[in-house]
A and B are shown apart, each in its own frame.
Chain A
């Protein structure tokens, strides 16, 4: 599994043709207590950079963009009952949606863990 990062502090964990998308530990810390996550519908086709989800904290409501193009194959329904999962375990049980990647080459434009660590300092 490879993990890639975007400038908007999202991660995509890639396993074969599918990527799991969420926000980074740094992002959840900046947002504060997350109170609501609005997820895309399954089957929705997304273009890279398109708004995919909205994460709402006590401070702000922020858009989550598709890190790559593809189709939404699953969403994390656990977040409707417990949005705090994004705070407690952002890269684990706090994932948001899974996307079937239509163009793997788009992943090359994203940052790896080392490069992201630099901007999330």
Chain B
């Protein structure tokens, strides 16, 4: 974007055209008492090296995820991203149009999206995947809308094990829809979601591993939903788990939504992330988002195009399957490259390693006096109950450089039952020394 300064003469000319006698007059519609009159209390300009020094001092006050023992998860996970990913995503082959409508100039991007879709379909066990959505939470909201279009029913039931942020995003999409039922968070079990399904239910939304780390029985949920003609939407916030757990598609899921950040993408301060969405072939026409297909060109050569786009917003406008479903192209590219580098065997090994580190963490936590591990099942994340408020313990340990996880009360408000709970994740980056530091920190704080 060019910087176009205005001279006094130009300002006067523009005011003349508008018919205003001063710039202040342009704000005459704003009530007097709402106008900011005095200058903002901001420091004036400074020399470049002074600004650098100031920024360095600010940065030094941060505690980055890699600065010490780190057990924070709850929807965003610190994994190793190989340096080759960052190198490869910057290659010029990918630097084509943001929305690749013109296949003749966008083959790199289109092929990448096609490979991405193939990877997502394989790890979720579904027939087809789209070219990504914003993130897991908006993907969940899109899946809910899709289920309503498919079933022509209204009722949606969100499991209490769904990440509270995901629930909030679905609520925001559906506004105050009386047909949206959000079950209260249940740190200790599956809850009664299956008993709530009836003939008006479009879909139930079940997360596995759930917000507290428990694995949910996808097969039972699918059977219960299908018995009433409803759909099962499975949500996965830790996509690495799909390397070890049976694919939701193989267990009867109708739509699978996942957060793909764990593969190829850093924590990025909470975003941008990449939403994965996959479904059965019969539902493809109601799946929102961009879809890339493989074809042959006029010479019979393999090529890639956007396909089934007559349902997309550039053609169908307000009647499109979605108007808020931009894909996360760069994050999807990083996902796709990291996944290709891992390969199927590498992805499975990564998942096993994550679970193995979580087992070491769980064993260590269970030996700490006063701590109760709530999980009978987990992948790489678990919930513990402490004899004092979780948020307090987290703050105390953070001051010692240990980020011991997420207090459940930070995300689940107004529920005294979760006040003593903290949720901890382990990944391939969690070392024995990290766990030892956490355990001795907890022992001191709880003593």
Contact = CB atoms under 8 A, between A and B. Distances in A.
Interface of A: 36, 38, 41, 56-61, 63
- For chain B, what secondary structure do more than half of its interface residues adopt (helix, strand, loop), or is it mixed? helix
A56 B310 contact: yes
Contact of B311 (A58, A59, A61): A61
B388 interface: no
Given A56-B285, A60-B316, A61-B311, 15 more contacts: A36-B285, A38-B285, A41-B152, A56-B310, A56-B311, A57-B310, A58-B310, A59-B310, A60-B310, A60-B315, A61-B310, A61-B315, A61-B316, A61-B319, A63-B319
Contacts of A56: 285, 310-311
Contacts of A36: 285
Contacts of B152: 41
A43 to B, nearest CB: 11
A29 B285 CA distance: 23
A38 B285 CA distance: 9
A76 B190 CA distance: 42
Interface string B276-299: 000000000100000000000000
Interface string B307-320: 00011000110010
Q: 10 shortest A-B CB distances, which residue pairs?
A: A61-B310, A56-B310, A60-B310, A61-B316, A61-B311, A60-B315, A36-B285, A41-B152, A61-B315, A59-B310
A38 B319 CA distance: 14
A61 B310 CA distance: 5
18 contacts: A36-B285, A38-B285, A41-B152, A56-B285, A56-B310, A56-B311, A57-B310, A58-B310, A59-B310, A60-B310, A60-B315, A60-B316, A61-B310, A61-B311, A61-B315, A61-B316, A61-B319, A63-B319
Nearest to A58: B310
Contacts of B311: 56, 61
Most buried by B among A56, A57, A58, A63: A56
Contacts of A60: 310, 315-316
Contacts of B285: 36, 38, 56
A56 B315 CA distance: 11
A38 B282 CA distance: 12
